[in-house]
């Protein structure tokens, strides 16, 4: 049974893999591209990736490089720093267990093509992924232990205006929040996000026509290296202000990999979302529900089945062209996983001990002018039905945690 400190890192994490994609550093790749593409550069239309949920918006004038046989390559990126102060830190070592610290949250560059039947996207650099209720992993360690210096990279074949196929390191379909800080309403990811995969290796088929969009993917789930997960999403836009999405993903077969990169229970689970989005002028509301199930599998050492039930509301409100407010409220509950008096049984822990629950509130005011932004955040997380040894604080016995954060930088 993992301890609380283990759970803080057990989710979207991986040691470096010796893939051809994960070898170059940001600087080396940037120099190589500059040499290859030459000095010819201009400004292009806004880039389609990475996705931005707002209120932050990318630079509308991405740099366009003429790259010979590759055609026009668009270049964008983020350079951001973060400061954190928190209560009930564990003081167990590492920057994330201190009462306060500063770090890099993003130093990333994206290269992509958006024209022609064959396209590519490469995102490279260092990053941290702050998340509610878990210990913070500083950027250098997060990059090494999570997805490496090239977290997202894929090739895309455009078969028709409606149909395309992507293959490589792909963002997950699951959940309503993306992986990196700049993509989201809040600086920190939420409790529901902590149960989800983030980036997977695989193949994805995408379809969109009119009000309907859909995608299906064969991938390796929680970055396990085994293509035994099937993910799918179906969305319908009722009008320009309202849309509904259903997401489902799960393991097709047993996978015995268990490491810092791949949590054994979650990687042998299934997970579902129902996500609704409503936009009315400056206000955007995104309520969503989530359910996950881990089945009993004694052969894998999962001696008890367990489930999670959760709901969240994401709010974004634009005060004016420069100021906005983001907020998130969520609740997550677990059931099952307990062993009772069976001494040979290992409990299945998906949160803060079997049968635990948690809720959180997060508020994030944001200022952005041009490519510069600054935003603050206050979050509160409260544990229910805490099991001894899985909480916050020096002795892992505290039920709540307050965090105050600031993030600032440029989106070029």
Phi, psi of 286 (to 5 degrees): -130, 90
Distance CA 379, CA 403 (A): 5
pLDDT of amino acid 40: 47
Sequence length of the chain is: 412
Distance CA 245, CA 226 (A): 27
Name residues whose C-beta falls within 8 Å of residue 36's C-beta, 6 or more positions apart in sequence.
Answer: 67, 68
Distance CA 301, CA 348 (A): 9
Over residues 128-152, the pLDDT tens digits come to 999 999 999 999 999 998 899 999 9
pLDDT of amino acid 70: 81
The answer to whether the CB of 349 falls within 8 A of the CB of 195 is no
Whether the link from the prior residue into 55 is cis, omega within 30° of 0, is yes
Over residues 340-373, the pLDDT tens digits come to 888 889 999 999 999 999 999 999 999 999 999 9
pLDDT of amino acid 2: 32
Q: Which residue has the tokens 């129902």?
A: 274
The answer to whether the CB of 119 falls within 8 A of the CB of 67 is no
pTM: 0.89
pLDDT of amino acid 48: 87
Q: 3-state SS of the chain?
A: CCCHHHHHHHCCCCCCCCCHHHCCCHHHHHHHHHHHHCCCEEEECCCCCCCCCCCCCCCCCEEEEECHHHCEEEEEEEEEEEEEEECCCCCCCCCECCCEEEEEEEEEEEEECCCCCEEEEEEEEEECCCECCCCECCHHHHHHHCCCCCCEEEEEEECCCCEEEEEEEEECCCCCCCCCHHHCCCCCECCCHHHCCCEEEEEEEEEEECCEEEEEEEECCCCCCCCCEEEEEEEEECCCCEEEEEEEEEECCCCCCCCCCCCHHHHCEEEEEEEEEEEECCEEEEEEEEEEEECCEHHHCECCCEEEEEEEEEEEEECCCCEEEEEEEEEEEEEECCCCCCCCCCCCCCCCCCCCEEEEEEEEEEEEECCEEEEEEEEEEEEECCCCCCCECCCCCECEEEEEEEEEEEEC
pLDDT of amino acid 45: 62
Quick one: CA dihedral 59, 204, 248, 197, positive or negative?
negative
Task: Tell me which residues of the chain have a pLDDT lower than 70.
Answer: 1-45
Distance CA 383, CA 134 (A): 12
Nearest to 277, CA basis, from 322, 323, 246: 246
| Cα 271 from chain centroid (whole Å) | 15
User: Token digits for 13?
Assistant: 């994490």
Distance CA 354, CA 306 (A): 8
Domains and CATH numbers, the chain: 4-411 (2.40.160.10)
């Amino acid at each position: 049974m993992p301890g609380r400190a283990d759970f803080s890192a057990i989710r979207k994490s991986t040691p470096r893999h010796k893939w051809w994609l994960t070898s170059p550093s940001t600087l080396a790749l940037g120099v190589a591209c500059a040499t290859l593409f030459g000095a010819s550069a201009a400004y292009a239309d806004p880039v389609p990736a990475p996705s931005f949920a707002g209120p932050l918006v990318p630079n509308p004038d991405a740099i366009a490089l003429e790259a010979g046989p590759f055609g026009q390559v668009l270049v964008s990126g983020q350079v951001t720093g973060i400061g954190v102060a928190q209560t009930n830190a564990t003081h167990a070592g590492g920057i994330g267990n201190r009462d306060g610290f500063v770090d890099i949250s993003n130093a990333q560059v994206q290269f992509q093509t958006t024209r022609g039947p064959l396209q590519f996207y490469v995102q490279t650099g260092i990053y941290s992924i702050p998340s509610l209720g878990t210990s913070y992993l500083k950027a250098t360690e997060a990059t090494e232990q999570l997805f490496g210096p090239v977290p997202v990279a894929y090739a895309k074949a455009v078969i028709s205006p409606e149909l395309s196929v992507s293959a490589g390191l792909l963002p997950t379909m699951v959940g309503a929040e993306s992986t990196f800080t700049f993509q989201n309403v809040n600086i920190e990811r939420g409790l529901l996000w902590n149960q989800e995969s983030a980036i997977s290796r695989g193949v994805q088929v995408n379809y969109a026509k009119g009000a309907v969009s859909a995608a299906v993917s064969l991938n390796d789930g929680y970055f396990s290296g085994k293509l035994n997960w099937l993910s799918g999403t179906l969305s319908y836009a009722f009008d320009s202000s309202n849309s509904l999405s259903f997401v489902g993903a799960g393991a097709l077969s047993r996978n015995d990999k268990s490491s810092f990169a791949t949590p054994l229970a979650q990687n042998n689970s299934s997970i579902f979302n129902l996500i609704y989005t409503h936009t009315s002028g400056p206000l955007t509301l995104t309520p969503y529900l989530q359910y996950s199930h881990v089945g009993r599998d004694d052969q894998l050492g999962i001696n008890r089945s367990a489930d999670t039930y959760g709901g969240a509301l994401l709010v974004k409100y634009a005060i004016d062209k420069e100021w906005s407010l983001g907020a998130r409220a969520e609740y997550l509950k677990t059931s099952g996983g307990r062993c009772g008096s069976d001494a040979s049984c290992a409990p299945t822990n998906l949160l803060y001990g079997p049968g635990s629950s948690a809720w959180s509130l997060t508020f994030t005011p944001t200022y952005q002018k041009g490519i510069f932004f600054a935003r603050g955040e206050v979050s509160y997380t409260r544990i229910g039905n805490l099991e001894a040894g899985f909480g916050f604080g020096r002795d892992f016995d505290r039920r709540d945690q307050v965090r105050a954060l600031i993030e600032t930088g440029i989106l070029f």
